[in-house]
Each structure stands twice: as structure tokens, then as C-alpha cells.
Amino acid sequence: MLLPSEKEKYGDRCPVGYKKLDLLGKGGIALVWLATVKDAKKRGLPDELEGHRVALKQFPKVRGIPIDNSAKIEIETCNVLFPLSVKDGFEGDNDDEFERTYAIDPELHPGIKSIARLID
């Protein structure tokens, strides 16, 4: 449950295509929610993610204040481990023509499958 001050800081936002189910945790810079993918196509996600449970990280929405440095590091780390690649048969002209891939071969390094990754 969110405290009144947290409700004011984070609001009741949820990205289109997801449904919040429960609050998993509160950290120093963000909230983490259990959610489901409810409309994968709207997010440009693969159909097989429809209905999957995911963790959503919600950062405070404060105008004029830059994102916390630890959040930047976390995002950049995920971008390195799971880079965007152009989908087969596409040119990469539109956002929905990209997908997240593994930076290393998951057959050789199966542990990468256990790391939380950016899907959106």
C-alpha cells in the first residue's frame, strides 16, 4: 500500500498495454509493481508476451528534476545486456520494427536468461 506522500510522488500512472496487479517493493528511487501484459501489440511486443507477468519499475514523475544516476546506470546496463535489434525482414524505420535480443549467446551462457531484462 502506498503512503499519501508516495501517491503524490508517483501518482497512479501505468503504461498503456500493462495492468498493475500488486506492489512488489519500494526502493530508494522507484516502486516495483507486478503487472501483466494486456495488449502486447499496442506496445510493439511479441504476441507470446500477452498475459505474461512482468515487473514494472515506476520512477517518480517530477518535472525539471533529472532522473537519478543509479536509474541511468540500471537502464544502460540493461541496454548493454539486451540490445535493440532490427527484426528480420524490416528496415528499422519504425519503433515496432525492433526487438530486444541477448548480447551474448544464451546457449553458451544460460544464466543470462535469469536476468531481468527490458522488454519495453
The tens digit of pLDDT for each residue in 34-89 reads 999 998 877 777 788 899 998 888 888 766 666 677 778 878 888 898 898 999 99
Q: What phi and psi, each to the nearest 5 degrees, are found at residue 7?
A: -60, -40
Across the chain, what does the average pLDDT equal?
A: 84
Cα–Cα dist 106/97, whole Å:
22
Q: What phi and psi, each to the nearest 5 degrees, are found at residue 30?
A: -160, 170
pLDDT of residue 22: 94
Q: In the structure grid, which three cell numbers stand for residue 93, read together? A: 524505420
> For the whole prediction, is pTM greater than 0.75?
no
Cα–Cα dist 12/120, whole Å:
19
Specify the pairing of strand 53-58 against strand 84-86. Answer: unpaired
Sign, CA torsion 109/112/113/119: negative
Tell me if 81 sits within 8 A of 91, measured CB to CB. Answer: no
pLDDT of residue 90: 92
